[in-house]
Amino acid sequence: MTPGQGSPTTPFIAPGATLGQGSATTPFIAPGATLGQGSPTTPFIAPGATLGQGSPTTPFIAPGATLGVMGGGQLARMFVHAAQQMGYATAVLDPDPASPAGWVAHHHVQADYLDPQGLARLAELSAAVTTEFENVPASALARLAERRPVAPAAAAVAVCQDRAAEKAQFLRSGVACAPHAVIESGAQLAAVGDDLLPGILKTARLGYDGKGQRRVSTRADLAGAWAALGRVACVLEQLLPLAREISVIVARGVGGDIVNLPVQQNLHRDGVLAVTQVPAPDVAADVQRRAIAAARQVAADLGYVGVLCVEFFVQRDGSLVANEIAPRPHNSGHHSIDSCDASQFDLQVRALTGAPLAPPRQHSACVMLNLLGDLWGGPGEPARAPDWAALLALPGVHLHLYGKAQARPGRKMGHLTVTAASAGQADAVARQAAERLGIEAW
Ligand code: AIR
């Protein structure tokens, strides 16, 4: 058989299937299938067997130890992959029995984020603990920190959980953000300056992927929107003439060393990231330099340890406005797995274990497309799946699926990166991939 051609009669085994051992009759097994574990006579020794667990005073946690993560979504799953590649064992705490990272980690502590027994178990298993979502209760991180090194620290995560605290941090770091007002009471609502309208009212806490936001033009709109959001603490931001959205990911070590990934240009649709291009095609070099400097400054000022992402808006006049901080790897940095010699997840492992942070280098131009649940069929439509084989036929395509059991509109089910020798080539192939997926071009 001609390598790489498949045969016309070979059925495609789509992602999610379980892969067996291969045989003359084994057709192509698509991503998502479960690969078997070696032969019945070969015992499988899982990566990361526990070889000593470090301690809060251990500066470098060597491979063989177990690394813990709060949360078991796709970000934890990719952290687990990176940690395992480096020889660490992994433990995930997530209440969901079918969490994407629970599938692949050595240990899945299935417990609520505040469950004292679950937290104790995670601490017992892990030499150090990180987090994969910012809404992890800060008190849970503080509790874990009594027993193990935790990075990022609860205090830094707490800043990122609250838009008002986040904006105050930007201002402390000398980083511009949108003119805004904090609204926690009727009096503060009444005192809002007219210069902030039209604006966007955002809940201070627990908003993500465009949720908890309302556009407002008049004072009446504002009062209505605040009521609709339940009169919870909010931040009203002036609506700005935005040209682009970009993000910068940095990793900071416990000794204060900082490295960054290249600037990412992001396109959002319906409040959810759709496309990331790296290098950023439409952002001037000096804007990129300023964004990188600002992100590094914020990480340094927070005394941050771990991977952090700052999202920025580029205004039409080229000025930068910081939007928010994610205290974790970020969707816009997923390209780094395939396009850089150290991914954001490799950096997360290094920062957590106290390993040196070598500056990452981008070796391939890259376009990332998010694979949202809509591709599996909308509500009421028959379930379907994208034609993976058609996508995998394109050069430089890397398919990442998160193993989520249920597709919902807007839910991040996976992503696809296209790497190439030039940005033009990556873009051209990514457009073909988008067309095959039925995703609108950019
Ligand atoms: N996540 C966390 N903050 C933002 C994002 N995207 C990731 C984390 C989390 C997962 O999204 O990995 O666990 C939750 O995804 P879902 O589809 O279950 O809501």
Is the pLDDT at 178 greater than 60? The verdict is: yes
Name the residue with the closest Cα to ligand 1, atom 18. Answer: 73
Compute, in angstroms, the gap from residue 372 CA to the centroid of ligand 1: 12
What are the distances in angstroms from CA 15 to CA 96, 118, 243, 397?
Answer: 21, 32, 37, 15
Write down the pLDDT at residue 138.
Answer: 87
Write down the pLDDT at residue 9.
Answer: 55
Question: Which one of 80, 412, 413, 415 would you pick to mutate in the ligand 1 pocket, going by the greatest count of ligand atoms within 8 A of its CB?
Answer: 412
Compute, in angstroms, the gap from residue 71 CA to the centroid of ligand 1: 9
268-286 per-position pLDDT tens digit: 999 899 999 999 999 999 9
Share of the chain above pLDDT 90, in %: 81
Ligand 1 proximity of 102 Cβ (cutoff 6 Å): no
Stretch 238-267: mean pLDDT, rounded? 96
Ligand 1 proximity of 208 Cβ (cutoff 6 Å): yes
Return d(Cα 335, Cα 416) in angstroms, integer: 9
Residue with tokens 């395939």: 338
- Would the pTM of this model clear 0.75, i.e. be above it? yes
Residue with tokens 């479960």: 34
Residue 292 backbone dihedrals phi, psi, to 5 degrees: -65, -45
Compute, in angstroms, the gap from residue 406 CA to the centroid of ligand 1: 13
Is the pLDDT at 8 greater than 70? The verdict is: no
Is the pLDDT at 148 greater than 60? The verdict is: yes
Is the pLDDT at 110 greater than 70? The verdict is: yes
Assign 134 a pLDDT band (cuts: 50, 70, 90): confident
Compute, in angstroms, the gap from residue 74 CA to the centroid of ligand 1: 6
Compute, in angstroms, the gap from residue 75 CA to the centroid of ligand 1: 7
Ligand 1 proximity of 411 Cβ (cutoff 6 Å): yes
Stretch 286-295: mean pLDDT, rounded? 98
Question: Which one of 70, 74, 348 would you pick to mutate in the ligand 1 pocket, going by the greatest count of ligand atoms within 8 A of its CB?
Answer: 74
Write down the pLDDT at residue 27.
Answer: 58
Ligand 1 proximity of 408 Cβ (cutoff 6 Å): no
Stretch 207-234: mean pLDDT, rounded? 90
Cis peptide bond prior to 152, omega within 30° of 0: yes
Residue 345 near residue 359, CB atoms below 8 Å:
no
Question: Which one of 99, 133, 402 would you pick to mutate in the ligand 1 pocket, going by the greatest count of ligand atoms within 8 A of its CB?
Answer: 133
Ligand 1 proximity of 331 Cβ (cutoff 6 Å): yes
Name the residue with the closest Cα to ligand 1, atom 11. Answer: 73
Assign 45 a pLDDT band (cuts: 50, 70, 90): very low
User: CB under 8 Å to 359, separation ≥6 — which residues?
Assistant: 259, 260
Compute, in angstroms, the gap from residue 10 CA to the centroid of ligand 1: 35
Residue with tokens 């950019």: 442
Write down the pLDDT at residue 21.
Answer: 59
Q: In this structure, which amino acid lies at residue 102?
A: G
- The more confidently predicted of residues 45 and 122 is 122
